[in-house]
Every structure is written in structure tokens, then in C-alpha cells.
Amino acid sequence: MADPSRFSRSPLARHNVPFTILIVLAGAGLTWFTLTQGVFGRSVADPTAAAVTTQTPVPQPVASAGQPTDEITTTSSTAPAVAALPLMGLTTEVLLEGLAQPTFATSAPGDDRIYIIERAGRILIFDPATGVLNPDPYLDVAHKTNANTGIELGLLGLAFHPDYVENGRLFVYYTDKSDNTAVAEYARLDSETVDPTSEQIFVTVERRGVRHNAGMLQFGPDGYLYIAIGDGGLFEEFGQDPNQFLGTILRLDMNRGEPYGVPDDNPFFTGGGAPEVWAYGLRNPWRFAIDRISNTMFIGDVGQAGAEEINAVALEPVGYNFGWPVMEGFACWIPRDGCDTTGKVLPVTAYSHDDGCSVTGGYVYRGSQIPEFYGHYFYADWCLGWVRSFEFTDGGILNPRDWTDDMGSLGQITSFGLDPNDELIYTTFEGVLGRIVPER
């Protein structure tokens, strides 16, 4: 056996020089590879590189059945970057329970909290970061409403002025002790309270019925306030008459005039209808939403006996006539056969009362947590508690999907809303404030 002590351990020994050179070269190569290509094959990001548009794989449903298939296609999208983990489905997160019949939840400009309205007349503030609900109401108009006389009555709508941070203006919609509609402006007192003495009612609608009140309020990207008013239940008298407010959506300029201004491009500004009216022919538009990206209004209009419908129209003020009570969904209502559909806007989708009974209109998703469904519109049925979605493209719908297998029945969904990060939230008649979240 050779004696190992006779071999020098010095790397510079003559017999070790070749091996030493090889080791140095290998080390230099490894260093170069790491700096240029990244560790274990991951590229090192160039901070000066431009962002790239990604192709987002999304499951495509069978249009006729509304159920997803196993096929994956790619669609171009300007959505946020796709999450690192694949989307397995959608589920819900309960944020609050025990609310008193909430009818809406939303966020205010410049505020990280959620404002919840209860039908009896209270607005409460919830901080999702801490999970704390302020027990003292932000606003309480319970003494003004007739909420105790019917489930379609009470405090139904809330909207904050786009410049709320600076001017503290907010707007509410409620039915009063005389069963009439009141749309009022209030002023913020501080970050936790509204000045109760600041009420200025600027729209009053006298009613002879107590149903079909609608109540959605939203400012559009044009800066105008849109207000949905139901037909009051006396549909044969009002639905096709744009000279009055029942069964319409109003469009008002709250930045000029007393108590408001009327935009001069409203469809009936120069005659043919009430100048405030932007659209008519609606029964009970229980929640509309204006998508700020596409400038499209989506309206969930509750049906009478046969169909629930979703309408989607561009936001240009062209005097839309949605057909009620001449039409319900895609079918004639008065008369049942041979009705005049000239000039009537047909829904983009509708479902029969075999599939539900009262639509709750929702929102187009523009959040960041579910980029796979960025740009999809979500809506629900109040009776069966299911949630569905679709894309609206070129006047038609794509990728309709039923989320019942993921979410189950959520209860009687009274409304959808947006949290401060544009994530979808919802309220139920049973007293839940929840959020739709991805399951990965």
C-alpha cells in the first residue's frame, strides 16, 4: 500500500497544480451562471424591464348548461398577474354575523372600512383589518323609515360623493313613514358620525303601493348620481311613462343647481319625458352597478311571474326603455302575445322561476385576489341563494358559470358590494356580511 504521507496537501504542489486550475475554473463558471441565470434555473429579474401582458388560463363552461368543463383555453387579459397557486374554485369568508337584515355594504373613498346599512335605518362601520364593528351607528334614520311594515321597505341605498374625503357628502335612499321614497343628502360630522341635522331631501316619490322600491345609488365615472326607483307595484300605470319617476333610473348632477342640476345630455332634457330620467321601463331594479372600466351599467331587474333578468347597457344617456310591463325577460307580458318590442332593450340573460324567484344584481369583478375572473360579472338569486357569473363582451355573454358546487347556498342574498380593495362582498337577509375569496 502506498504511503499517503508522501503526497503534499498543498494546492500549489507541482502534482496538484492541474487539479487546482480545474477547481478555480469550475468555481468561476458556477459564479457566472448564478449571476446571469439565477439559482436553480430561476431568472434574476431586471428591474428596468417592462411589464408583460400574460395569457391567463381559465376554465371554459358549456354555454348551454352553464357548467364548467375540464378544458382550458387562454384569453388575453389586462387583469392583475395570475396568482402563484392555481385556482381550485371560489368560496366565501364570513366577516360578520348577527346584523339586522342588512341591505347593502360598500366602502367610502379614502377609507379602509366597510359601511353596512341595515334595513331598519342604521349605517354601521366595520373595520375588516381588526374585525371590529363600531356599535354606535354612523347614521341612524330608523325613526324616519317604515321598515317595520314590510320587507321591501326601509333604508335601501347609500352612496358617497366621489370627493367624500374633502367634502364629507353622502346620499341615502329610504322609504318614509308615509310609504313614499325619500332620497336625501347628509354631511359627515367626523370619521365616525354623520350630522343628523344635515338632512336635505332632494327627491320624493309619492307611492300608492309599498313594493318594488329598488333603491340603488351610485356615482358614475361622469360624476353624476344614478338612482334606481321601482314601479311601486302598480306596473300598468307607470312602467312605460318616462314623464314620472316610478320604474326609472334617474341621473342627476349633485355639484350644481338647487337641490340638484340636470345634465343637459340627459335623454329627455329637451322634452318627451322628465328631464331627470335616464332610463325607464323597469319593474324593480334591485341593484345596478356601473363598471368603471367598460362604462357599462349592469341591472338586475326583478321579474313578475316568469323570469328574472340582467340588463347590460353602455353608459351613454340614450333613454333606454327596458320594456316593463310590455315585456318580462325575453317574453311578452302585456299583452301575452304579439306585444310591440320596438325600441325595447332586451336583457343579456334571464332565468325562469323554476331556477329562482328574485334576482340580486351584482358587480363586475375588478379586484386583485381572483385575477382569473377579472372582468366577470357576479349576481345571485335571493330565494335560492346561488351565485353565478359571466363575461359581457360585444353585447353578449361568455363563460357563464354557476358557483353552487363551490359555495352552496349563501342564504337570502340582499346585495353585493365592494370592499376598499374592490373585492366582492355580500350581505344576506339572515344578517351575514361575507366576502367571496379564491380557494387555491
Q: Which residues contact 47 (CB under 8 A, 6 or more apart)?
A: none
Could you give the CA distance from residue 273 to residue 236 in angstroms, rounded to a whole number?
18
Q: What is the pLDDT along the chain (440 residues), one digit of tens a residue?
A: 433 333 344 444 444 434 444 343 444 444 443 333 433 333 333 333 333 333 333 333 333 333 333 332 333 346 787 777 999 999 999 999 999 999 999 999 999 999 999 999 999 999 999 999 999 999 999 999 999 999 999 999 999 999 999 999 999 999 999 999 999 999 999 999 999 999 999 999 998 778 999 999 999 999 999 999 999 987 777 889 999 999 999 999 999 999 999 999 999 999 999 999 999 999 999 999 999 999 999 999 999 999 999 999 999 888 999 999 999 999 999 999 999 999 999 999 999 999 999 999 999 999 999 999 999 999 999 999 999 999 999 999 999 999 999 999 999 999 999 999 999 999 999 999 999 999 99
Could you give the CA distance from residue 370 to residue 82 in angstroms, rounded to a whole number?
8
User: Residues 73, 28: one domain?
Assistant: no
Of 127, 125, 154, 147, residue with least CA distance to 138: 125
Q: 56 in a domain, yes or no?
A: no
Cell of 133: 364593528
User: Residues 382, 429: one domain?
Assistant: yes
Q: What total number of domains does the chain contain?
A: 2
Could you give the CA distance from residue 213 to residue 154 in angstroms, rounded to a whole number?
10
∠ at Cα 286 (420, 358), nearest 5°?
Answer: 120
Q: 212 in a domain, yes or no?
A: yes
Could you give the CA distance from residue 301 to residue 358 in angstroms, rounded to a whole number?
8
Q: Which residues contact 326 (CB under 8 A, 6 or more apart)?
A: 239, 240, 281, 332, 333, 334, 339, 340, 341, 344
User: Residues 323, 364: one domain?
Assistant: yes
User: Residues 96, 12: one domain?
Assistant: no
Residue ranges of the alpha helices (H) in 203-282? 235-238
- The residue written with cell numbers 318590442 in the block is 341
User: Residues 129, 30: one domain?
Assistant: no
User: Residues 205, 313: one domain?
Assistant: yes
Supply the DSSP symbol for 90. Answer: E
Could you give the CA distance from residue 43 to residue 32 in angstroms, rounded to a whole number?
13
Q: 24 in a domain, yes or no?
A: yes
Q: 43 in a domain, yes or no?
A: no
User: Residues 18, 121: one domain?
Assistant: no
User: Residues 28, 121: one domain?
Assistant: no
Residue 213 is part of which domain span? Answer: 66-439
Q: 47 in a domain, yes or no?
A: no
Q: Which residues contact 191 (CB under 8 A, 6 or more apart)?
A: none
Cell of 381: 338569486
Could you give the CA distance from residue 375 to residue 362 in angstroms, rounded to a whole number?
12
3-state DSSP call for residue 362?
Answer: strand
pLDDT, residue 80, reads 81
Q: 127 in a domain, yes or no?
A: yes
Q: 55 in a domain, yes or no?
A: no
We report the CATH number of the domain holding residue 100 as 2.120.10.30
User: Residues 12, 160: one domain?
Assistant: no
User: Residues 17, 80: one domain?
Assistant: no
pLDDT, residue 20, reads 42
3-state DSSP call for residue 404?
Answer: helix
Of 117, 169, 106, residue with least CA distance to 147: 117
> In Å, how far are 189, 302, 307, 365 from 379, measured between CA atoms?
35, 12, 15, 11
User: Residues 23, 82: one domain?
Assistant: no
User: Residues 26, 74: one domain?
Assistant: no
Supply the DSSP symbol for 168. Answer: -
pLDDT, residue 72, reads 29
Q: 107 in a domain, yes or no?
A: yes
